[in-house]
Structure 1
Amino acid sequence: MLRSVFCKHTLLISTSGWLNLPRVICSSSSLSSSDSKTSTATMMSQSKLPSPPVAKKVEHKMELFGDVRVDNYYWLRDDSRSDPEVLANLKQENDYFESAMSGTKKIEDNMFAELKGRIKQEDVSAPFRQGSYYYYTRTLEGKEYVQHCRRLIRNNEAPPSVHDTMETGPDAPPEHVILDENVKAEGRDFYSVGCFQVSPDNKLVAYAEDTKGDEIYTVYIIDIETGTPVGKPLVGVTASVEWAGNEALVYITMDEILRPDKVWLHKLEADQSNDICLYHEKDDIYSLGLQASESKKFLFITSESKITRFVFYLDVSKPEELRVLTPRVVGVDTSASHRGNHFFITRRSDELFNSELLACPVDNTSETTVLIPHRESVKLQDIQLFIDHLAVYEREGGLQKITTYHLPAVGEPLKSLQGGKSVEFIDPVYSIDPSESVFSSRILRFHYSSLRTPPSVYDYDMDMGISVLKKIETVLGGFDTNNYVTERKWASASDGTQIPICIVYRKNLVKLDGSDPLLLYGYGSYEICNDPAFNSSRLSLLDRGFIFAIAQIRGGGELGRQWYENGKFLKKKNTFTDFIACAEYLIKNCYCTKEKLCIEGRSAGGLLIGAVLNMRPDLFKAAVAGVPFVDVLTTMLDPTIPLTTAEWEEWGDPRKEEFYFYMKSYSPVDNVKAQNYPHILVTAGLNDPRVMYSEPAKFVAKLREMKTDDNILLFKCELGAGHFSKSGRFERLREAAFTYTFLMRALSMLPSVGSEQS
């Protein structure tokens, strides 16, 4: 489990109160600072608002390697999340936030209505075929959550085809609602289903629910037809749950620091206390994962750190027998799939940094054959197996691609693969993701979107080489993809490295003369790829002349494994300087000026925002740091904090002097100083298990103490949510609405306070 699994969080904007922006000519002077103040900037002044909360200071000294750090706000950390004084501080911050935003509440409400108005509220997902049924989700008018449904396939004997469609209408087999999340969520502030697993015989379903946002789940097993519970629920588990045949489940639990450390076998109707522990990972650097093979004949249990992963397997017909598939070798990362009498193994090491694909017989796992060799310019990211085919997800030059191969018949020798077919895509920059497909078919299903193309589901016939669109997200409000332009540019980092930037804007509104407002998004950690994907809410931004850009900085995985390695450990500052280089490129090339540049990042991307604010506060007009990981050094020195031990291979272990001082040099909380900062909005979730709420709380408290400007600083903590904010599909839009109201005010894009309230 990552501290900061990437969430593609998009900021939004409303029509209410729009003022045309003044147009200026871009020149080299755009990079210089400006002291100009507009009426809206004055409105954003903290001095025009009620006095912000002032957190008390309690000296807390921390000493290591002869270095003394004083954290006056350490007291804000409360592991129980129930300390009255801490909760009072968070409530004061929330009250101040509401007071500061009260003058634009009408605009925020109108914005929310606009965002909600783009959503087709009654809709169904692309149905997935399993056995004799189509499974899908349905959304209803005005409802926050989905219904999980299925419908019988009358002609189940016909093989799957790209032209298959689910019967609907009065003569179709009736729809059966298996689980209505809206009913389950009644009376709750938070509700999330982490997995929904149908048994192989289509009679039962196991689903995991989280009612707090802390990502600690309860798993329920029910009869699909009747909804009747089967046995007692499994409590205190992760969302990793798989069927081992029709009579048993395999699941994972966590230790006291929320590290997935034990994998269990549960027989239906048995008490959880009698479940069999199949494996206990005692090394606190490693966490467990669970995945079913596409064939559904094997389950794979992985134990992984940031640089090492090894694999166990169990035959679902004999689930008590867990066996080693790939041994633990530090620095070697493996994952597995299965087809016929072979396991397929993806392997990465220091020498094979972009991975190779191997195959080995199930009955002789030491006898391996290289199917796809390592390539320095192509990263092998994922594979998907079928009875006669292999689909390979790769990255080259930062762009994703899918290549499919026809495999020899099961039982025949496997040799190196030749003559693959490549799937074609329609945009210059885009995002693709694997989707569950029918193993026995020749149909590959994948998800596709771009900065201008709504989320789409395609079925690709691997024999015929054709793609058929099965579902595209409906965007209401007259959306036309042809109105938008997507580009890919490259900024030069300080060491000469070329950093890709993905850009989108509405072509008839943007002048590219420096006068356009721009939002730059970044992440840059964990080898996560920040690919350019669509979000309908972003249209409210683009349709007002905004430019939206994604900086694909080092520390992510967009350009292969080495791109990641060059943005971690003692090279972490490359992540921050890359982002600054992207911002300067956009200014220099007349996409915006400093007075029109906003930045945003979440989680580890919030660390990015905190770091660049300390390094170059003059470069930005406004910043949003969502659930930011900003107290890096203190957190990484404390192994009792959830997930810290597993993170030493990402950030380094500060119990070693070299890492200690390097982390201290960029950790945002440790580097807040007496200087001017732009307008800043910080968010947190009280139940967040990945980034403790206390990190952003301490960051805000120290900023309030140290900063010398009069710009506004707001902090909002969701008291009933976790890392991913609120759970309802409309509730999430509320956060986007107030976020963009904040940024529009900072950019002088709203009327005066009096006009807003009128």
Structure 2
Amino acid sequence: MKKIVPLLILTLIFVSSCNKKNTRNLAKNSTPPKAEKKPVNLEKHGDIRVDDYFWMNERDHPEVIDYLERENDYYNKLTEHTREFQTELFEEMKGRIKEDDASVPFKRNGYWYYTRYETGKGYPLYCRKKDSLDNSEIILFDNNEMAEGQAYFNQAGYSISEDNKIAAFGVDLVSRRKYTIQFKNLETGELLKEKIENTTGRAVWANDNKTVYYTRKDEETLRSNQIFKHILGTSPEEDTLVFQENDETFNTFVYKTKSRKFIVIGSSSTLTSEYQFTTAENGDSDFTMLQKRERGLEYSVAHYGEDFYVLTNKDNATNFKLMKTSETATGKENWTEVIPHRDDVLLEDVDIFKDFLVVSERTNGLNKIRITRWDGTVDYYLPFDNETYTAYTGTNVDFDTEILRYGYNALNTPSSVIDFNMVTKEKEVKKEQEVLGGKFKKENYIMERIWATARDGVKVPVSIIYHKDTKKNGKAPLLQYAYGSYGSTIDPSFSSIRLSLLDRGFIYAIAHVRGGEYLGRQWYEDGKLLKKKNTFTDFIDVSKHLIENEYTSEKHLYASGGSAGGLLMGSVINMAPELYNGVIAAVPFVDVVTTMLDDSIPLTTGEYDEWGNPNVKEYYEYMKSYSPYDNAFAKAYPNIFVTTGYHDSQVQYWEPAKWVAKLREHNTSKNKILFYCDMDAGHGGASGRFEALKEIAKDYAFLLDLENIDK
């Protein structure tokens, strides 16, 4: 019997190996879909671009659906040999997550609020307890029940009336970020009749418990352009239009100040802000302008006592400064300085308490949390002891408290939620993220921050993590990630999911390229508009630095980015395809010129200050010089995996679909170009916390397969 068992195992291994070889052979014999060419001439400024695949822009056309389904079928055939491995990766990543998990409760208006998950379920339960955490639980929303029968489900949080009796909440069932607001009686559990369609999903209560303000979207562009007032118990058709944002480069939004004294309407574009306010006591008062918009003047407001606190770039304060002004005299001429502008410190946010001001700063790329007393007797920073961490203030709803709640994690350190006493300086860790499975030990992973020299001499920071057993000899596979747009900073944060790569010998690197704000506001300014190419060349120069210093080699270097980071991926493989063995581009913004010329597409007009307005010839020509779709010519492209969602409202599905067709047409290498379109998802991918892991398993299987790693 002892001899039979090993023989059986060997037989199973042989059969499995044969099956994998067979599926690989089938994949090799599979032919990628061929998109029909239907040339359309696109003319601007006397320049003609020929778009052979413009026909894909017609949503829901049978020919378009057929093409996307053929692409998905081709992807499935070429990856059939990794299907079992994808499942193993999914189970492995899921196995590290505590399924019966809950957030740290916070208290608001007499109730403790928290979110929890149950084992085996993919959606959260929103809950509360009255007065004490020892009291019985009240389930406000069970998203698992609400999502039953839906291909996609997302609840945009909720807001509670001041008397704690009614909850307003928004639901999206399509993944187009068009939410329907509904109301729930928390005493009876009944849903009220009224439904408000085509909103951002958020509602703001006046203090009278019957008036709510909400933001409605333009039906075609999905731009948030109107603020309405709704009276509970009335038809949404009777709602009052409070404010309309007519400038197509602006979006509008509404919120209540932490002091609960004011309702605030904000309007913002990339470069300019404007706020107006009214008392929150009832819904009858008119709004008062805080400071009229001036191009280039950015500001945001918080309220405390009898003053507004204004975070602003006024007077060329590139990294922002903090000012304050009386409720009764709010124009910029009345603003007085609280924290001055500093060239080397980016002022990111403030949290206001009765006795303390807490300031979130960034110095040399690192998060800092500064705590000061209003009377000036206390001024100190929370201590952090490495260069690859993320720290941020958390949910702090109370004014009259000495406790600051903040979060902390690092590339090798799971997230913690910490309550810090600003008087005694004692801290209490309220929760540490659990990494299940028994294998994770933070000391097994090495973190580094290095600096690569860009071609113009600028130093670009890179955050790196790898397993201690991984050798830096040029043979290790390395995944390099970046975003690099909108001033959005990718901080070096922990991921239990990423362990599936690190434990298989991968190095992971975040390139903090220009276009984000990692090194301050100027870092962003130097990676936008007519300086956008700095983002792409920074990424390439980081890649070269990693190769030169033997972190990896061209045969083992991989790149990844999504949305505007997908634009980065497209530009990088046009400019330096030889550096990478594989690239993952998720929901990639790659047809820049055509999209930015179409003001009917969501986000377009509001982003002229980010990318430029191509109706102006200078910006048109600059965009065209880097737009991935317009620059896909004959070259040896690396292996590429492109993903998108059919309902994506931010990067329309046709951009990656057209790009893949053109890449295949011009690719001179034998490397594979794969494309997968989730027909039920949008920009954020599949809904549910575990469904998202299946998407990541696809990505990881693509990378690991290229490294011939299958277990």
TM class by smaller structure: over 0.9
Distance 1:198 1:402 in 2: 30
Distance 2:24 2:631 in 1: 25
Distance 1:568 1:418 in 2: 41
Distance 1:423 1:199 in 2: 35
Distance 1:629 1:323 in 2: 39
Determine if the alignment matches structure 1 residue 74 to structure 2 residue 49: no
Distance 1:122 1:144 in 2: 11
Determine if the alignment matches structure 1 residue 387 to structure 2 residue 349: no
Distance 2:499 2:86 in 1: 16
1:322 counterpart letter in structure 2:
F
One of 444, 450, 469 as aligned partner of 1:483: 444
Determine if the alignment matches structure 1 residue 188 to structure 2 residue 188: no
CA distance 1:434–1:682, change in 2 (3 Å): same
1:521 counterpart letter in structure 2:
Y
**Which residue matches 1:344?**
309
**Which residue matches 2:118?**
140
Residues 630-709 of structure 1 correspond to what in structure 2 (within 5 A)?
630-709=590-669
1:672-716 per-residue CA deviation (whole Å, 9 max, x = no partner) reads 111111110000011110000000000000011111111111100
Aligned-residue offset at 1:363: 1.8
Distance 2:550 2:683 in 1: 36
Determine if the alignment matches structure 1 residue 710 to structure 2 residue 670: yes
Distance 1:230 1:59 in 2: 52
Aligned-residue offset at 1:96: 0.7
**Which residue matches 2:344?**
377
1:547 counterpart letter in structure 2:
I
Distance 2:325 2:142 in 1: 43
Aligned-residue offset at 1:219: 1.0
Work out whether residues 369 and 392 of structure 2, in 8 Å CA contact, stay in contact via their aligned partners in 1.
no
Distance 1:405 1:311 in 2: 27
Aligned-residue offset at 1:433: 3.1
**Which residue matches 2:212?**
249
Answer with 469-478 or 607-616: which moved more. Answer: 469-478
**Which residue matches 1:278?**
242
Work out whether residues 244 and 299 of structure 1, in 8 Å CA contact, stay in contact via their aligned partners in 2.
yes
Determine if the alignment matches structure 1 residue 420 to structure 2 residue 379: yes
What is the RMSD of the two structures over their aligned residues, measured on CA atoms?
Answer: 1.9
One of 324, 331, 344 as aligned partner of 2:296: 331
**Which residue matches 1:198?**
160
Aligned-residue offset at 1:147: 0.6
Distance 1:281 1:241 in 2: 18
Aligned-residue offset at 1:535: 1.4
**Which residue matches 1:109?**
87
Distance 2:504 2:260 in 1: 49
State the secondary structure of the residue aligned to 2:413: coil
One of 461, 484, 496 as aligned partner of 1:500: 461
**Which residue matches 1:300?**
264
1:137-174 per-residue CA deviation (whole Å, 9 max, x = no partner) reads 110111010111111224xxxxxxxxxxx4xxxxx311
Work out whether residues 27 and 77 of structure 2, in 8 Å CA contact, stay in contact via their aligned partners in 1.
no
**Which residue matches 1:412?**
none
CA distance 1:703–1:44, change in 2 (3 Å): farther
Distance 2:204 2:72 in 1: 40
Distance 2:338 2:400 in 1: 21
Answer with 366-375 or 662-671: which moved more. Answer: 366-375
2:299 counterpart letter in structure 1:
T
Determine if the alignment matches structure 1 residue 309 to structure 2 residue 287: no
Aligned-residue offset at 1:65: 2.3
Gaps of 5+ in 2: 1-11, 14-19
Aligned-residue offset at 1:418: 7.0
- Identical-pair percentage: 41
State the secondary structure of the residue aligned to 1:455: strand
1:386-406 per-residue CA deviation (whole Å, 9 max, x = no partner) reads 122211111111111111111
Distance 1:225 1:424 in 2: 45
Distance 1:705 1:397 in 2: 44
Distance 1:601 1:665 in 2: 20
**Which residue matches 1:50?**
30
Distance 1:469 1:427 in 2: 19
Distance 1:281 1:515 in 2: 55
One of 168, 171, 179 as aligned partner of 1:209: 171
State the secondary structure of the residue aligned to 2:79: helix
CA distance 1:535–1:296, change in 2 (3 Å): same
1:620-658 per-residue CA deviation (whole Å, 9 max, x = no partner) reads 000000000000011111111111111111000111111
State the secondary structure of the residue aligned to 1:533: coil
One of 510, 525, 536 as aligned partner of 1:565: 525
Work out whether residues 28 and 78 of structure 2, in 8 Å CA contact, stay in contact via their aligned partners in 1.
no
Work out whether residues 610 and 668 of structure 1, in 8 Å CA contact, stay in contact via their aligned partners in 2.
yes
Aligned-residue offset at 1:42: 13
1:429 counterpart letter in structure 2:
T
1:430 counterpart letter in structure 2:
Y
**Which residue matches 1:21?**
none
Work out whether residues 312 and 326 of structure 1, in 8 Å CA contact, stay in contact via their aligned partners in 2.
yes
Distance 1:85 1:353 in 2: 50
Determine if the alignment matches structure 1 residue 131 to structure 2 residue 109: yes
1:249 counterpart letter in structure 2:
V
Distance 2:642 2:314 in 1: 38
Distance 2:471 2:407 in 1: 33
1:446-504 per-residue CA deviation (whole Å, 9 max, x = no partner) reads 22222111122111212222332111221101222122121111110111111010011
Give me the TM-score of the superposition, normalised by structure 1: 0.88
1:10-54 per-residue CA deviation (whole Å, 9 max, x = no partner) reads xxxxxxx99xxxxxxxxxxxxxxxxxxxxx999989981410000
Give me the TM-score of the superposition, normalised by structure 2: 0.94
Distance 2:311 2:490 in 1: 22
CA distance 1:406–1:42, change in 2 (3 Å): farther
One of 385, 389, 393 as aligned partner of 1:434: 393
Determine if the alignment matches structure 1 residue 556 to structure 2 residue 502: no
Distance 2:489 2:201 in 1: 23
Aligned-residue offset at 1:230: 3.2
CA distance 1:405–1:46, change in 2 (3 Å): farther
Distance 1:283 1:41 in 2: 59
Distance 1:279 1:361 in 2: 24
One of 428, 431, 434 as aligned partner of 1:471: 431
**Which residue matches 1:531?**
491
Distance 2:55 2:306 in 1: 58
1:339 counterpart letter in structure 2:
Y
**Which residue matches 1:755?**
none
1:79-108 per-residue CA deviation (whole Å, 9 max, x = no partner) reads xx3111101111000111111111111111
Residues 25-40 of structure 1 correspond to what in structure 2 (within 5 A)?
none
1:635 counterpart letter in structure 2:
T
Aligned-residue offset at 1:558: 0.9
2:447 counterpart letter in structure 1:
T
**Which residue matches 2:330?**
365
1:301 counterpart letter in structure 2:
I
Residues 608-647 of structure 1 correspond to what in structure 2 (within 5 A)?
608-647=568-607
Aligned-residue offset at 1:176: 1.2
Aligned residues: 687
Work out whether residues 467 and 502 of structure 2, in 8 Å CA contact, stay in contact via their aligned partners in 1.
yes
Aligned-residue offset at 1:289: 2.2
Answer with 460-469 or 704-713: which moved more. Answer: 460-469
Work out whether residues 23 and 81 of structure 2, in 8 Å CA contact, stay in contact via their aligned partners in 1.
no
**Which residue matches 1:65?**
45
Answer with 672-681 or 241-250: which moved more. Answer: 241-250
1:516-554 per-residue CA deviation (whole Å, 9 max, x = no partner) reads 111000100000011111111111111112111100000
